[in-house]
Structure 1
């Protein structure tokens, strides 16, 4: 054994060490955390009390935190990313419709719906005649009938007896300066066309926002005083809306129900851009034309000039139950008044895509398809600022660029309920005493999000007809089938339940410490891994034997 190895395993008498030397030693909690990361075990497990309803046994077990960020919990973030990879791969190159056609309505379902329509007509007549007693009787009958309709497997909204209040909607007529798009009838299919009788390619798409000014190779503004930080902040906040509008226009233009798996990521300049795996092939020119013709108008009150600031802030008035001017005591316009179509004649902002649109055709089952799936999910474990390159190695100019962008986001309203609206003399929707003028807890204002407050992964409803829980259940079922086929009996009790779960409280005597929870989870993971590897070995031998016998 070498001298280095001998020194590494030599016992340490901590009683003879100085305080400075002891400070260099590893802490038990750090060792347990590192060991958990090496075994892929959650490093921030939640201690939950599990009650077996069959036997009555009560155990305190570690439950993974489920974080999707590697700076919080790397094992859970990696597991979430692998699950997204499976979700993307299973839905991208499907050759058959993932959702089967709906079954025909039964005679009983049609009979109940006919009865409900008769009751609806009787209720309308009774209300017109002012017979409130009759109306109350019909409401009770319809409420019971709706329960029976749901029990028969009918979903979707049922027409209310009382018509809802009429909502004034704005015109959906397109802007005169926006290019027109062809509109085709949308076919009831989500699978693309086949070319040459055997090839069914899919599409990889990247959409970016417009330019706000020249930037250097790191993404920092070359001329910060001329860079349009206001438009950059507003575009980032409203980016999800224009992405939704893009898919609406795409389906109407191509004529079939386009499905996608997309991720929202920041560019180095801090602006969001969108990568999407699209099932089926769409011509490049068509996608570029759709992106150029897509826009989103923000019909909010004008928020170009700050009215209040510093110590001159609106104050809450108990009499009017709203905010008032601190000097004149005049009530500020409410959200309904400020957004009334008669008062709001022009949008506060319009979001458009940039000219850079990347489109590429991808064949399923190829190495290129796997590489693009990895690119789609590459930054899902990082928060937005990290993905934009804002780390300890970022240059000073890039840090200043992001500081200016975050400063602009701090004074840009993120929603109708945002407290920042009070800076512009408008009461936010649902304003109350606890609303703090100029402050909002929304993620869009935080430096680590750079205005990207919504979901980072966007998946269409008919992508694979499976939720993330369905994918998790499939993985668990596969492992159990492998164990059954190999005849491996787990060396631990299989937790099938049924269970009832309770949250633990700080100070509960039966709750172990964090290191103890980690060590318990590591031991459990080692047992699972040993059983799985043994089953894989036996299954491989069985397959070889069956192949030789054939």
Structure 2
């Protein structure tokens, strides 16, 4: 029993050689030759707990993306490409489907099937390489005051210029510098903290901490908007969201260009986000006294039989925001120059925790921190995380797009999972004009470099040549996982041996050229 399992040893060897340990088996049909092959495709996981090699590769891609975009000295090319025939056909088909749906709706006919067609077309439009959906039906917006809150200071506003590059500075010796910023923003205090845990858990404001974590991503959006208004140009950024030791999310942001530190702190102090949701403070249904589902009307009060307020009705009655989230007083701003050790250190810091989940910051040997996380999870359990969250039933409101079987405290949203600590947004936030490349293009650059090092060319293939299908579980044609991992390890070893041989040849040529130059001299 003390001897290791062969499969576990194969997985450890695969990890050491950078081979995906959760490969996805796909069946590839070559339409030209009719040949069928089973191909292992990397899982592409971003967390080390799932697949360490794939997580490391994704982290390296993010590091390359951050480095290439931080100190650009030329404007990125953002001219959209011309639409192809497939894209035009999809837009025309989408327009026809929308016209048919509108006609059926005016005639009082059922539009369920047409709605399903439109949803499928929208997915195809996005998959065909088009951004946005200009044919989406307009929805009515509720009028909310855009006037700044009285407890938030006003911000200066500069005239916008059509550029994404920051200012340059010329030294006395004529050298031009293009500095950028590294900004760290945190949330406010919810109580006194010592070693990452509250000194007095009973007085710690867990409800506010939970709501701030739920809406932290919206606060970051507001900060970027205010930053661009004050800077006067289209500021580009690369940011990551990480947990503090007290389990509250905070932001690390690499900003292209520079602003005075006092202005950055002023922007952070003046940034807020109002959550215009119905009130969620008075519990109306709890325990066994829960709303019941009626197929015709939705959720009903179990005692009176009255239909609960719909999401739209509750929003119409909302007179003040449910919550206002702000940044705390701790704002760290550093100036960074391209190619310096400080820039490399900041990039490493930005990508340090990308392969770990937010919940991995918990110390397993510290029971007080575990208790702190459990209290935060308890505060998040019944807190609404979105308009469709089942927790709205607890407060007498039908969730948006309500369906049978919804129970308060059983929402499956990411924010309610312990590993996310209330934050359900993206861990990496990258502006569209950051590096002038998508993550897929950065991946293609790495592929091109490897093929060139191996002496091969990355020739484009016919996108319609191969048909890919998932392999059903238990397919007899798929070898055991350990065998597939060992084959991938052997192939990786051949690649590395070939690259080492090519590198040795290149070093020999360089040495020979140096010796010939020395003799000639």
Name the TM-score, length of structure 2 as normaliser.
0.85
Instruction: Determine if the alignment matches structure 1 residue 310 to structure 2 residue 277.
Output: no
Q: For 1:479, what is the secondary structure of its paired residue?
A: helix
The answer to whether the aligner puts 1:346 opposite 2:320 as a matched pair is yes
In 1, Cα distance between equivalents of 2:346 and 2:80: 34
| 1:164 CA drift (Å) | 4.0
Residues 419 and 435, structure 1, Cα contact 8 Å, conserved in 2: yes
Tell me the residue number matched to 1:26. 4
Asked whether 1:58 is paired with 2:36, we answer yes
Offset, 1:479? 2.0
CA spacing shift, 1:88–1:391, aligned 2, 3 Å: same
More displaced 10-residue stretch of structure 1: 197-206 or 411-420 = 197-206
Quick one: structure 1 residues 158 and 301, their matched pair in 2 at CA, closer, same or farther if it must change by over 3 Å? closer
Alignment partner, residue 167 of structure 2: 193
**Greater mean deviation of Cα atoms: 460-469 or 191-200:** 191-200
Q: How does 1:74-223 map to 2 (within 5 A)?
A: 74-99=52-77, 164=138, 166-196=140-170, 197-217=175-195, 219-223=196-200
* Distance change >3 Å, CA 385–CA 155, structure 1 → 2: closer
> Which residue is equivalent to 1:419?
390
CA 285–548 in structure 1, closer or farther in 2 if over 3 Å, else same: farther
Pairing 1:328–2:308 present: no
Q: How does 1:100-499 map to 2 (within 5 A)?
A: 164=138, 166-196=140-170, 197-217=175-195, 219-320=196-297, 322-340=298-316, 343-387=317-361, 390-393=362-365, 395-484=366-455, 498-499=465-466
Whole-angstrom distance in 1 between the partners of 2:275 and 2:322: 6
Quick one: distance in 2 between partners of 1:345 and 1:64? 50
- Partners of 1:273 and 1:42 in 2: how far apart? 31
User: Size of the alignment, in residue pairs?
Assistant: 472
In structure 1, C-alpha distance between the alignment counterparts of 2:314 and 2:321, rounded to whole Å? 12
| The structure with more radius of gyration | 1
- Cα pair 2:382 2:408 within 8 Å, conserved: no
> Cα distance, 1:252 vs. partner?
0.5
Q: Which residue number in structure 2 is paired with residue 538 of structure 1? A: 505
1:312, CA displacement in angstroms? 0.6
Match of 2:346, SS? helix
Separation in structure 2 between the aligned mates of residue 54 and residue 326 of structure 1, nearest angstrom = 64
**How far did residue 97 of structure 1 move?**
1.1
Residue in 2 that maps onto 1:141: none
Change (3 A) 1:279 1:547: farther
Quote the offset at 1:418 in angstroms. 0.3
Match of 1:136 in 2: none
Distance 2:131 2:61 in 1: 30
Change in 2 beyond 3 A, CA 1:423/1:374 = same
Aligned residue number for residue 146 of structure 1: none
**CA distance in 2 between partners of 1:391 and 1:64 (Å):** 31
In 1, are the aligned partners of 2:27 and 2:38 still within 8 Å (CA)?
yes
CA RMSD in angstroms, aligned pairs only: 2.8
Structure 1 residue 521 corresponds to structure 2 residue 497: no
Identify unmatched segments of 5+ residues in structure 1.
1-22, 106-122, 133-149
Deviations 1:97-156 (A, max 9, x none): 1225679x9xxxxxxxxxxxxxxxxx9xxx9xxxx9xxxxxxxxxxxxxxxxx9xxx988
Find the aligned partners of 2:250 and 2:508 in 1 and give their Cα distance.
49
Deviations 1:307-352 (A, max 9, x none): 21110111101231x1111111111111000001xx2110010000
| CA pair 449-101 structure 1, distance change in 2 beyond 3 A | closer
1:495 to 1:541, Cα distance in 2 relative to 1, 3 A? farther
Task: State the distance in 2 between where 1:293 and 1:228 align.
Answer: 22
Q: Shift of the alpha carbon at 1:176?
A: 1.5
